[in-house]
A = this chain, B = another copy of it.
Amino acid sequence: MAANTRMATAVQILCVIAYKGAGGTNAEVISRSLQTNPVVVRRLLKSMEQHGLVTIRPGKDGGVQLAREPDTITLDDIYRAVEPEPEVFALRPIDNPKCPVDIRMKGLLGPIFRAADSAVQQTLNQTTLSTLVRAIS
């Protein structure tokens, strides 16, 4: 697949918030760290708010804070918060029921692709946001 930087961007957003400390920060400050458009930052913040990782305070003095302690947020939590379908590989539908190969592929590849997703999940679960932030501070 064409790997994208959404995961790296989301992790960096949370690292900036955690690095700024208890008072939190805002999308403009975060977007300067990333040198990207605040719209991109706000879109990812919204997803992470929906998944309980951050709290967004709207308005003129608005901002964003972590909703949980950084040592309880794993990289897998972040992945699931910003990827609607956190899958490495997609299966094909069964399109040709008359073909002995086609009718078996989904059943054969399903468990292997799920094992790949699970291996990624286990890897990401080994690191928390606090581990990263401690290495930055």
Contacts and interface: CB of A to CB of B under 8 A. Distances in A.
Contacts of A100: 19, 136
A82 to B, nearest CB: 10
B101 A19 contact: yes
B105 A115 contact: no
Interface in A1-59: 1-9, 11-12, 15-16, 19, 32-36
The 9 closest A-B pairs by CB, nearest first: A119-B119, A35-B95, A3-B90, A3-B87, A33-B99, A116-B123, A8-B92, A7-B89, A5-B90
Contact of A102 (B12, B89, B108, B109): B12
Q: Count copies of this chain in the complex.
A: 2
14 contacts: A1-B1, A1-B6, A5-B90, A7-B89, A8-B91, A32-B96, A33-B99, A34-B92, A34-B96, A101-B136, A112-B124, A116-B124, A119-B122, A119-B123
Interface string A62-97: 000000000000010000000101011111100110
Nearest to A19: B101
